[in-house]
Structure 1
Amino acid sequence: MGEKEEAAPVLLQCLESGRVDVICSILSQMKNQADFHAQVDKLCCKEGTLLHKAVWLDAADSVAALLSGGVNPCVQNSEGKTAYQCCQSEGVRLSFVREALQSINLHKTERLCQLIRAGVPVDSVDTPDTKNTLLNWAADFATPEVVKALLTNGANVDLANFKEETPLHTAVIKANAEVVKILLSAGANPSLKTKKGQDAFALAETHSPALLSLLSMDQIARDVRHHRSVDDMDDRMSLISCTETLNTQILNDSIKYEKYIEGEIDSWTDLLWPQPKLISIKHQSPRNFEFPKDGKLKVYFDDCSSANPRQVMQIIELSKPLLVSVGVDIEYRGHRLADHETSALEGKVTCGVFEDGRPSGSYTLTIDAIRGVEVVGSDYAGIRHAFATFVQIVRLHKYALHKNVGHSNGVSTSVPSSPNGNASGDHSLLNGNSASKHLPDICADGTIKELTIRDQPDRAFRAVYQDFSGCRILNPDTILKLATRLSSCKANYLFVNFEVRTTDRYQLPYTNRELFHMMQVCQELFITFVPSIDTQSNYLEGDQARTIIDQFLDDFPLCKVVHFGPNLASFLISDRKLLTSIQRRVPRIYLSTHVDEKNGPLLSTLPPFVTLCVEGTWPFEVEKYVSPRVSVVIKFSTGDDGYLCASPESVAKKALLAAKLSDRQTVLGSMVCDLSTGCEAMPPSLSYMSLLASVGVAFNGSTDMKKYAFLLPVIAAHHMLLDGDMVSLFEQVQTLGKVEHQLTKYAYGYWKPNSSSSPNADISSGSETTLFGMSANKKMPISVFVEMILNPENMNMERLTPVVFKKARIELKRTTSALDATSKLLPYSYDLALVLEEIRLVTELMVLVSKLGQYMCVYGSQPIDRKKSFEEGLPYSPGRVGVINLPPAIRTDLANTMLRVRGQFQHVWLSRSIPSTLQNALKMFDNLFRALLPHDLQEMGKQLL
């Protein structure tokens, strides 16, 4: 076929003439073309697509050829039917089933789910004689991910074949422990027997005795579940199970992670962040390091070191406020004395810089009962990192001592566990009264066991990107506080991005004095301040672009690094003369751009002073199009596009992907981006866990995020809020993300909650997109909460019911109760109170939207003309509703609540952002308020806003 020749007419002729061989040949040639699906999946005849035509012809072989060639079975014809829904004979239906079986054999999870969405029954059998279901085949031949996908789509876990063998029997015979565990967690009954009278236990004794313990534990769990819960009905109606944490099914691959689900840790050192490469603790040492009785650490400078004592003092002063807040002060004594190592002086701290060949930022930290504390860095950055780690150790021990003192006095200072059963794991172990219980291996008397830490960064680039292109522009004080916290967690780049509108006069939101102060503080924190700029459009003239860039560089005369966003980057990539002229002023240039086969050759010739910033996706195809001579930085967002809150699963998945992609030779490191556009303009505290996860794996790529994903709330509490008792705040942030994502998955048919009245209710089978499976990124729909805020007049509520929204409200009210309990124990701290109010604000907004959704399901009914589905492959149904049909009293009540939430938002916003951005930020709330307000109250509403 010629390159310009349309494939559809030729394939239609082949279908009508029965030339299956030609169909296979054409599809094989076209498969790698970029417009493959556009050609073979379009509506090309009165029946619909090519696949519809083959079904109408009742040509089973042609159907099989098209499916094998990769056509999309989810496309609907003009009647809204997929090809499978048009099948008239069993032979043609069998072609679809065989394609599903082939997908199982080849472990093509996405293709299998696509066929199921097209209408292929999830419990289809291979032949009427053998009666092996898709799940039976998956248990025999496929991976655990395929099994999870079938269960997620509603496969009957106990449906037996002709031999009365269930999928569990098959998995036991194959000795596949992972699949057995998945099936058991989905409710598979191990007591069912085959035709030979053997149950799962008998089969395990014969084929795989190692599985007997797993089957026995499941039986015990079943017995426990049959006991009635003492919780009330609301507790049993939760949208997310109280036993679900993060996405429990992701841990079915190894039982070693199960204890972390409940918040348990192996040692107090698990709370150091980023995790050091080597920690050696002398557990059998007769003496421990004791804090001096006068509360002052005596700092000495190693006289053999080439370090400037004044500069080392400046580094230590950065950590001093964190030590003073826990009752430890610092006193500088000068160079060490001759008898320094044997002196009985308490609280000795010796510092020195020695270049030993390790990368910049490397350090060794030794804590000895006699010699005191020894801090050795490969450079000044190493000293900074060493002291940051030492401060974390001191604060954890002081926190444990405080807990023990409170416990011995009979006083509890811990935050109560979350009323929703600790949705992010039972951190009562971390909040409890016993130090030995919540911080294992830590000394109860406040002393520190002798230890040595050797550490060095895996990546020299560990960046945080603050985006001020939208309505959120943080004030300088907030930026510097964030930079200080992240510097303690060893981030070393801070990108601050501005957007210039070509129709407006060039002006940055900060004064030159504020910009200079931010750069100066970042330099002291060993963070490289990187100014970033972009335009709102790539339609600009060359002279206009040069003028904007020159004005921007004039505002940062001392900067040695600069970043340009996608629109300006596309201009600079094509104009090498301008790019070179910029390099004369700024030695290092970062360009954010999209990489594909079209611009790959041009990007491959970029000069060495340019580093590309690309989105971190899987599969990572940058190396496929760009020469390895070009350095690359991978970018990840802190949130999920189109959502108010990030889900715990996506936070962990992005951190895992960052660690995996950072192993590439061309990748210098990773950048985590806190965006400020649209619904992503949420309070910055919601992104703290994402920031920590990304920075942590950038410093130590071997960090096991399957473990630390569950510990992020307590890590964020200790290192971002500096208060280990505030774990509950971040647990509730995780709960908000779960509720939003679970309800959205349910709305679009990706997830279906179990009946709350069942004693076996459990959603551990979760979603089809696994957290740790590195599958291709799947475009998810916009959040139901966000869509309802932005477009309450025309919502697709086809799959949603009042009960679903009620369950969401129940979960959110539990979060509100947990926040109320935390507020009663909140110390006098403006920063902590602000974070609490930010989380409470988002919670109340989601409660309001859930209440609105519940009412819309009950009252709303607005028939409209048929429109396309939000995404190809999902069937359309005209189940749309709007607020206009709600009773006036309900609308007024909701509008009053919206007005109260709006007032809270104003307070929180002005505490973090510059005042001039408030009006744009309020538009989202004002639009919803106007939509909720009845028509006769609109004039009054204008006066209230």
Structure 2
Amino acid sequence: MNNLDEVSSRMLQEVCDNIKTAIEQGRTDIIKSVLEACEVDDIDSSLRKENVLNNPLLEDGTFLYMATKMNQGDVVRMLLSCGADPGVQNARGLNAIDVATSEQMRLIYVEELLRATANSEVGRVCQLIAAGISINSWDSEDSRNTPLHWAACYGNKDIVTCLIDRGADVNAMNSCGATALHDAVLRGDRDIVEELMQSGANPLIQSLKGKFGGKTPLDLAAQKPELLVLVRTFTSFSPSVNGHQDIGVSSHQLQHGITVTTGGGSGGGGRVRSVSVESFSNGVRGDMLNHRDGSTVSVHGHGFQSERKPSTRSLNTILFSSQASSLDLSPRIDQAIENLVRTHISTPVRPLVINNSLHLLWPQPQRMVELEGPPFVPQKELRISIIQSPVLIHRILDVWDICQPALLTLGFDVKIGDIQPSCGKWTESQVECIVSEDLFPSKDSYQIHINSTRVRIAAGSLPSLHYSLCTFIQLLRLSGGEPGSSVLVPVLIQDHPTIRHRAVLLDISPRGRVPSPDFLFQMVSLWSSLKVSHLHLYTQLLPSSEWQLPFTRSEMVTIDRYCQDRFIDLVPVLDVESHVSYEDLTDMWPTFQEILASFPNLRYVHIGPKLCSLLVRPEEGDEGDGVSSDGSGQCVGLQELWHHLALPPDITVMLCGNGIQQHGTLALPSNILLVQYGFQADYDFLEWTRDFHQQGAMTCLCPGTASWNSLAGCPEASICNIYRAVQAVGELESLGVIVAHWSGSYHLTPHPFGWPGFVVGSGLSWNPDTHWDYLHNSLSDLLNSHIFLDSENVVGRVIIELGYAETYALRSCRGQDQGDLSDLPAQDGSTLYKLLTDPDNVNLENLSLDIFGRVTKHIKRCQNNLFRAKLRCLFGEMVIQELQLAADLMLTACRIGRTLIGVGTNPNSNMGLAVINLGVCNLPPTFRTDIANKLLAHIEQYKGTWLQRHLPAGLQSSLLVLTSALHRFVPDEPQVT
């Protein structure tokens, strides 16, 4: 055996010497002959061609490395054609491409990449790209065709997907200005056209010269009906800057590859840009709104005119431009609507406005009338004239003072011009203000009248004055946002809230994701600008005499004052940890009293689900109906609640209605209000609450943001859930809506993903007549305009699209139809969430590499778009960091899922499951090390982002799940023998 090894070694040395000499002399014929001799069947494995080509047998490395370093171009071509891998590294970590210093040598490697691309050799292309060849290289300076151009001309769909997944620029233009989509449409391959369009290829890029000169891919598709339908399907129009949307584009204009002129505000100059499907828009959108009589309106001032056909008004016949996002991850909104129709929910008409600055007001005012005449141009110094009324002048000025920081941010300085007598008089002040409930049918109403000379603001009360100023500030921001460029169109706005209790519930349990006081103040300011009326602070308590709120007593007073100044009432939500028993309550009553005392303006006391289940309980000797044995029908636990908390009679107690239902009929006191919790997209509030109303009880409905137990939330579920709750409030005449935002298990979901629910809840509870398709199509614009102040209109769409990606993965894992709303959000956590926190117990049966590939591509596109964001809100940089981290965690979860599928694929799938989860322990050690390093980086970044805006108390319990995952992926150490 030793003799055989020695012979093989001598033969290998001889082969190496021969090839080395041939390389030095540029003799490709000799090299080819030697390699052919290594292809015989009975040769030793060490002498086989693959081993000779792709092992660093020389001191410097491989033969390809040597030939490249010596600039032997013909030899390099020959070795590449024989399958030499340029990515093999030498002892110093260098490969052949690292020493390809000349332009001639670089082009040889690019030629090999183009050859493999044209032949659809996916493995070879991946190998070459991994070695370091740029995926966007040109074939020559004259033509500048990239590998994607070649793939569109000659390759198949798999090679196109391969290039795109590895970063190929889908809109790269060659020297003639043509893109890969031009070549694909000309070729007529539907699959390749669809793949390019799904990945963001722009069908409206016009070639400059050559065979496509003056034409766009859409023009080329006009001669191919099947492709024309496909290209139109994926063509969408992105929102322009400053929160304005593009006007709807006619099919005639689509066929001719128009550009759209968008205004940067009514006073600013327009800018021309090509309409691109790189935006996140879901279909053709616009501000063309129909009159009630079915006629259309033409919109001017944006460079062209457009018309759209009237749409049907009933919910079951509304046609949405609900094309999925570029990877078909967006929900099927039409199916969601059908689901709503089955609950007999009707949909109102749209507001009759056509001006962009009015279109994005939120909440939508009850009535807006656009007036004739020139616009109003506000000056830098806004002089206010206040008309005397029964309300004290100083109270009115206090409301203006609260809104002053927002006006200063826009560049406007508020000055008091004069005080007018109650009869009023002529004044030179630009803004006129009066507060009197005698002017309105309800004191919560307000009116804003704008003409060319002044703004008249009238309100029925101080809260409604605050609401009117919130609308006024939005008008200024949406119309340009700074003195000199803001131009307010003449309009009459008459407004009031439809629902009285418009609330947010925030989980501030000490070991949860609790915002710091400064961050909480910012959130309160945003909720106030959206006209939220109540903030419920939820906390879970332990049997302890220590102070258990995350904020100190003095901080609670400050928070309450801050909320009161913005007309938001604080409501304590008392609850207990899951392991607390009824016997523990005896020692907890003083703790409850201490917490209630920290809420200076107490009007409501909200009892959480667990504590409510302890208070509403069957007594010994009863038949399990939860009432006292004396037949009074009064719940004994509630009597104890009043007794031990010493609640005054004017306090309204809110009880969780979900737990009370199981005990049958209860005779509740008149100042008890039942809160019905329901967080699933298809939760039927009407069904579960109707019995309470038939018994004479009053209710308040509690949907949720659906952004917990996940990495990026579930905006689709939140929108449907809140919409159902609001409609049920209207039918049942309930008190209101409380949009709940829980920390969830391990508190991994950052707060930005809760804002779609907050925005939807605040808008619909103010004006339930808001149109469903307006809400769906405008939600990202509302987030950008009012929450994140993103002038590039990116962040709002990224938040929604990341949520759609996570929901898509969840439905795919379940084998669930993409329009199915059942069990959303997942109560036990989303698929990506579980792949990160408990990967061994994820069912992989319905998942595939393709699904994870599409989700990964979508997430990366979202990440790339975040670099364009320009946030002007407080903590803007931190928002971007949180979103980037969430996307990174999602990508890591996708990598874990892909690898688990690869390891667990069953070759005999007809005999059982196609994919079996073999667990993390069976993954390759190199992969586990890579993921462990990734998680280590995530953990450090997670700590940093948490501590910037949240209290540190909940960080350790949140990190526990990530550190556990880290330890799970660290490869086992080898046993020492």
TM-score computed with the length of structure 1 as normaliser: 0.62
Q: Quick check: 1:678 aligned with 2:748?
A: no
**Aligned residue number for residue 330 of structure 1:** 414
The answer to whether the 8 A contact 2:715-2:756 is kept is no
**Aligned residue number for residue 854 of structure 1:** 898
Cα distance 1:853–1:491, how it changes in 2: closer, same or farther (>3 A)?
Answer: same
Cα distance 1:352–1:626, how it changes in 2: closer, same or farther (>3 A)?
Answer: closer
For residue 576 of structure 1, the aligned residue among 634, 638, 650 is 638
For residue 939 of structure 2, the aligned residue among 890, 893, 902 is 902
The answer to whether the 8 A contact 1:789-1:928 is kept is yes
Name the CA distance, whole Å, in 1 between partners of 2:592 and 2:423.
59
Q: Quick check: 1:380 aligned with 2:462?
A: yes
For residue 707 of structure 1, the aligned residue among 757, 764, 774 is 774
> 1:244-294: per-residue Cα shift (whole Å, max 9, x none)?
75535348989xx9xx99xx9874312111000001111x31x321212xx
> 1:878-933: per-residue Cα shift (whole Å, max 9, x none)?
72221111111111111111111111111111112111221111112111111111
For residue 610 of structure 2, the aligned residue among 564, 567, 579 is 567
Tell me how far 1:743 sits from its aligned partner: 1.5
Name the CA distance, whole Å, in 2 between partners of 1:708 and 1:659.
14
Name the CA distance, whole Å, in 2 between partners of 1:388 and 1:937.
65
Q: Quick check: 1:917 aligned with 2:944?
A: no
Name the CA distance, whole Å, in 1 between partners of 2:662 and 2:715.
35
Question: Which amino acid in the other structure matches residue 783 of structure 2?
Answer: A
Q: Quick check: 1:533 aligned with 2:574?
A: yes
**Aligned residue number for residue 494 of structure 1:** 535
For residue 668 of structure 2, the aligned residue among 584, 598, 606 is 606
Cα distance 1:615–1:221, how it changes in 2: closer, same or farther (>3 A)?
Answer: farther
Tell me how far 1:568 sits from its aligned partner: 1.9
Q: Quick check: 1:351 aligned with 2:434?
A: yes
List runs of 5+ in structure 1 lacking aligned partners: 1-186, 188-216, 406-444, 752-765, 770-774, 864-874, 939-945
Tell me how far 1:807 sits from its aligned partner: 1.9
**Aligned residue number for residue 831 of structure 1:** 875
Tell me how far 1:727 sits from its aligned partner: 2.4
List runs of 5+ in structure 2 lacking aligned partners: 1-190, 192-221, 236-275, 281-322, 341-345, 617-634
Name the CA distance, whole Å, in 1 between partners of 2:277 and 2:693.
59
The answer to whether the 8 A contact 2:840-2:919 is kept is yes
Deviates more, 1:778-787 or 1:673-682: 778-787
Name the CA distance, whole Å, in 1 between partners of 2:401 and 2:600.
28
Equivalent residue of 2:433, what SS?
A: strand
For residue 724 of structure 2, the aligned residue among 645, 653, 657 is 657
Q: Quick check: 1:793 aligned with 2:840?
A: yes
> 1:828-855: per-residue Cα shift (whole Å, max 9, x none)?
x651111111111100100111111111
Equivalent residue of 2:528, what SS?
A: helix
Tell me how far 1:624 sits from its aligned partner: 2.0
Question: Which amino acid in the other structure matches residue 539 of structure 1?
Answer: S
**Aligned residue number for residue 598 of structure 2:** 555
The answer to whether the 8 A contact 1:595-1:622 is kept is no
**Aligned residue number for residue 367 of structure 2:** 278
Cα distance 1:882–1:488, how it changes in 2: closer, same or farther (>3 A)?
Answer: same
> 1:481-515: per-residue Cα shift (whole Å, max 9, x none)?
11111111100000111111236845222111000
> 1:111-136: per-residue Cα shift (whole Å, max 9, x none)?
xxxxxxxxxxxxxxxxxxxxxxxxxx
Name the CA distance, whole Å, in 2 between partners of 1:388 and 1:326.
13
Name the CA distance, whole Å, in 1 between partners of 2:752 and 2:793.
13
The answer to whether the 8 A contact 2:714-2:803 is kept is yes
For residue 811 of structure 2, the aligned residue among 723, 731, 745 is 745
Cα distance 1:719–1:654, how it changes in 2: closer, same or farther (>3 A)?
Answer: same
Tell me how far 1:368 sits from its aligned partner: 2.3
Higher relative contact order (CA 8 A, sep 6+): 1
**Aligned residue number for residue 505 of structure 2:** 465
Name the CA distance, whole Å, in 1 between partners of 2:931 and 2:824.
37
**Aligned residue number for residue 13 of structure 2:** none
**Aligned residue number for residue 768 of structure 1:** 820
The answer to whether the 8 A contact 2:784-2:791 is kept is yes
**Aligned residue number for residue 515 of structure 2:** 474
Tell me how far 1:546 sits from its aligned partner: 2.6
Cα distance 1:670–1:639, how it changes in 2: closer, same or farther (>3 A)?
Answer: same
Runs of 4 or more, structure 1, over 6 Å off, are 226-233, 251-254, 337-340, 775-781, 875-878
**Aligned residue number for residue 298 of structure 1:** 383
Q: Quick check: 1:590 aligned with 2:654?
A: yes
> 1:554-574: per-residue Cα shift (whole Å, max 9, x none)?
433552322111122234443
Deviates more, 1:331-340 or 1:514-523: 331-340
Name the CA distance, whole Å, in 1 between partners of 2:438 and 2:232.
64
Tell me how far 1:802 sits from its aligned partner: 2.2
The answer to whether the 8 A contact 2:560-2:599 is kept is no
The answer to whether the 8 A contact 1:239-1:808 is kept is no
Q: Quick check: 1:511 aligned with 2:552?
A: yes
Name the CA distance, whole Å, in 2 between partners of 1:777 and 1:801.
21
> 1:25-71: per-residue Cα shift (whole Å, max 9, x none)?
xxxxxxxxxxxxxxxxxxxxxxxxxxxxxxxxxxxxxxxxxxxxxxx
Question: Which amino acid in the other structure matches residue 316 of structure 1?
Answer: W
Name the CA distance, whole Å, in 1 between partners of 2:974 and 2:898.
23
**Aligned residue number for residue 247 of structure 1:** 332
Equivalent residue of 2:794, what SS?
A: helix
**Aligned residue number for residue 368 of structure 1:** 451
> 1:404-450: per-residue Cα shift (whole Å, max 9, x none)?
x9xxxxxxxxxxxxxxxxxxxxxxxxxxxxxxxxxxxxxxx632122
Tell me how far 1:661 sits from its aligned partner: 0.7
Equivalent residue of 1:365, what SS?
A: strand
Tell me how far 1:780 sits from its aligned partner: 7.3
The answer to whether the 8 A contact 1:643-1:679 is kept is no
Name the CA distance, whole Å, in 2 between partners of 1:450 and 1:485.
27
Paired residues for 1:170-189 under 5 Å? none
The answer to whether the 8 A contact 2:708-2:745 is kept is no
The answer to whether the 8 A contact 2:363-2:763 is kept is yes
> 1:674-732: per-residue Cα shift (whole Å, max 9, x none)?
101215541111111110101111111111132212211111112112x2415211211
**Aligned residue number for residue 455 of structure 1:** 495
The answer to whether the 8 A contact 2:906-2:913 is kept is no
Equivalent residue of 2:456, what SS?
A: strand
**Aligned residue number for residue 228 of structure 2:** 223
For residue 318 of structure 1, the aligned residue among 394, 399, 402 is 402
The answer to whether the 8 A contact 1:467-1:674 is kept is yes
Cα distance 1:892–1:512, how it changes in 2: closer, same or farther (>3 A)?
Answer: same
**Aligned residue number for residue 164 of structure 2:** none
Name the CA distance, whole Å, in 1 between partners of 2:493 and 2:894.
49
Q: Quick check: 1:615 aligned with 2:677?
A: yes
> 1:795-814: per-residue Cα shift (whole Å, max 9, x none)?
32112222321221111111
Name the CA distance, whole Å, in 2 between partners of 1:880 and 1:265.
55
The answer to whether the 8 A contact 1:300-1:333 is kept is yes
Question: Which amino acid in the other structure matches residue 495 of structure 2?
Answer: D
**Aligned residue number for residue 563 of structure 2:** 522
Name the CA distance, whole Å, in 1 between partners of 2:823 and 2:925.
47
TM-score computed with the length of structure 2 as normaliser: 0.60
Name the CA distance, whole Å, in 1 between partners of 2:515 and 2:566.
19
> 1:10-39: per-residue Cα shift (whole Å, max 9, x none)?
xxxxxxxxxxxxxxxxxxxxxxxxxxxxxx
Cα distance 1:597–1:634, how it changes in 2: closer, same or farther (>3 A)?
Answer: closer
Question: Which amino acid in the other structure matches residue 884 of structure 2?
Answer: R
Equivalent residue of 2:777, what SS?
A: coil
Name the CA distance, whole Å, in 1 between partners of 2:492 and 2:670.
39
Name the CA distance, whole Å, in 1 between partners of 2:513 and 2:726.
29
Cα distance 1:455–1:505, how it changes in 2: closer, same or farther (>3 A)?
Answer: same
Question: Which amino acid in the other structure matches residue 369 of structure 1?
Answer: S
| Pair member with larger Rg | 2
Tell me how far 1:228 sits from its aligned partner: 13
Equivalent residue of 2:498, what SS?
A: coil
Question: Which amino acid in the other structure matches residue 392 of structure 2?
Answer: N
